[in-house]
Structure 1
Amino acid sequence: MRINVAAFAVLAVVVTAGCAGALLGEDLDFESGETVIEESTAKDAGYELQLSEREEYSQTIDVGDDGNQTNVTVKSHMARYGQVDDDMPAGTGPVQVGTVTIPEATIAGQSVNPLLQMDTYELAARYVGGFDESGFEEHDNYTLQPFDDDSDANVTVFRVEPDEPDAEPTAFIHVLQTQRDDTGDTIVGYVMYPVDEEESETAERLLGALEYTPPEELEDSDAEDG
């Protein structure tokens, strides 16, 4: 399966003049919490955390109509998992598992986070290696409760369409997308696997066992470590 991750373009955002006074001369930072798969669930399914890192985007936005500008930095978190004893780098194996946590990042009711301009398909294309721009179709939907708060999350299942007519699909991708009520963070979880791996039940189990840490708890932990 060829790797063809969709390109990521930063979008320009113009903020309404009503908040100009509050923003002049200020650099704004928005940082998400972190989401991982519960460790024992991942281990039981044969997966382990291979990569946990911050992904940072910076852009300059226009404030009002007088040419003033403000620098905005958006910090998301992503985690990638690999099969135990698999030597392939995270995100490149035949089965890919990961999570992305995206901050809300709004000013005067307008989003300044380009990731939140994307739909579920585009987010999958952004993060899942092998998710081509063409040849994928929506196959199914289901809901589950990924956190301990009993909130429902929707999962969209995409399938890779084969080149030959009437042939079986070659792979499936389960993509969960939900928003946290407590912080506004958007959570994306994904599992991609070839058809012959038969990982559908595993995908549901992994996406149904997410653990979320809000940004303020991360800050407290960093302070204690320091």
Structure 2
Amino acid sequence: MNRRRLLGAIAASGAIAAAGCLSGEDGTYEFDAEPARVPDAALSEAGYEGEGPQAFEVERTFEVGGIERRVSAASWVASYRNPERAASLLVASTPNATVAGRSVNPLVGADDADLLRRLLERGGGVDGGSVGDLEEVGTETRPILGGEATVTTFATEIRFENAGDAPIDAEGNVPALVHVATVQHDGDVLVIAGIHPRAVEEGETQGALMEAVEHGE
């Protein structure tokens, strides 16, 4: 696996907690996730484009039996966008890692809003932008990877240094809606997040893309 560190990417952010674990001679625990993606046919039908999943690595230290160990979680993130509609969709997968019965993945522990903010800002969903406060405005259930998943919708505002043609409010922000689902599948946890300007009706399209997500090689 060609691992690429994305320091702080989604780190200390939540709703993600393993598949196989390898403990090296130095006591390092290594966990590997399988990549997740949206099939090309579904992307083309929705007018989205992007690259396949890119590897990143999250590391932290963890105490096991009074001894400090290093934990490395090899994860993946894919980013897709529809430039004409200023809409993006991110699909991240990370190991549901545990050591001695405790979750060691640094992505565990925060709420969906905190997770979403870090994923969008550092995973490529809002290039050059910062995400403001997230207010939950609704939920729905969708079939994703053979199960029923809750998709939570948040209202927020995004500030760009250069917003281009996006609809900007009086304070220079772009009002936006964000849709996020977390799914456990085959030993990994997936976070799927879509974002688009509030003025653009894109929620149903992004929901269909979430339903089309595939996980594994």
TM-score (structure 2 length as normaliser): 0.73
Aligned to 1:171: 176
Find the aligned partners of 1:34 and 1:207 in 2 and give their Cα distance: 15
Closer/same/farther in 2, CA of residues 154 and 39 from structure 1, 3 Å limit: same
Work out the percentage of aligned pairs sharing the same amino acid. 29
User: Deviations for 1:98-128, whole angstroms, at most 9, x for unmatched residues?
Assistant: 1010111101111111112222111111111
SS at match of 1:26: coil
Equivalent position to 1:204, from 202, 207, 211: 207
Find the aligned partners of 1:191 and 1:75 in 2 and give their Cα distance: 23
Aligned to 2:68: 69
Aligned to 1:221: none
| Deviation of the 1:61 alpha carbon | 2.3
Aligned to 1:195: 198
Aligned to 1:224: none
Task: Confirm or deny that 1:28 pairs with 2:20.
Answer: no
Aligned to 1:105: 97
5+ long unaligned stretches in structure 1: 1-5, 12-21, 88-92, 219-226
Closer/same/farther in 2, CA of residues 160 and 133 from structure 1, 3 Å limit: closer
Find the aligned partners of 2:204 and 2:214 in 1 and give their Cα distance: 19
What is the correspondence of 1:150-161 to structure 2 with a 5 Å cutoff?
Answer: 151-160=147-156
Task: Confirm or deny that 1:122 pairs with 2:122.
Answer: no
What is the correspondence of 1:31-46 to structure 2 with a 5 Å cutoff?
Answer: 31-46=32-47
For the 8 Å contact 1:55–1:76, the answer to whether it is kept is yes
For the 8 Å contact 1:104–1:186, the answer to whether it is kept is yes
Closer/same/farther in 2, CA of residues 82 and 8 from structure 1, 3 Å limit: closer
Q: Which residue identity lines up with residue 53 of structure 2 in the other structure?
A: S
| Deviation of the 1:35 alpha carbon | 0.9
For the 8 Å contact 1:10–1:59, the answer to whether it is kept is no
> Going by fraction, where is strand more abundant, 1 or 2?
2
> Going by fraction, where is helix more abundant, 1 or 2?
1
SS at match of 1:101: strand
Paired residue total: 181
Closer/same/farther in 2, CA of residues 9 and 43 from structure 1, 3 Å limit: closer
SS at match of 2:41: helix
For the 8 Å contact 1:50–1:82, the answer to whether it is kept is no
Equivalent position to 1:137, from 135, 144, 147: 135
Larger Rg: 1
For the 8 Å contact 1:23–1:63, the answer to whether it is kept is no
Aligned to 2:123: none
Find the aligned partners of 2:30 and 2:98 in 1 and give their Cα distance: 11
Q: Which residue identity lines up with residue 177 of structure 2 in the other structure?
A: F
User: Deviations for 1:104-158, whole angstroms, at most 9, x for unmatched residues?
Assistant: 1101111111112222111111111356242x210110011122x3x10110000
Aligned to 1:54: 55
For the 8 Å contact 1:124–1:131, the answer to whether it is kept is no
5+ long unaligned stretches in structure 2: 1-7, 14-22, 121-125, 158-167
| Alignment root-mean-square deviation, CA | 2.9
Find the aligned partners of 1:70 and 1:140 in 2 and give their Cα distance: 41
Between 48-57 and 105-114, the greater mean CA deviation after superposition = 48-57
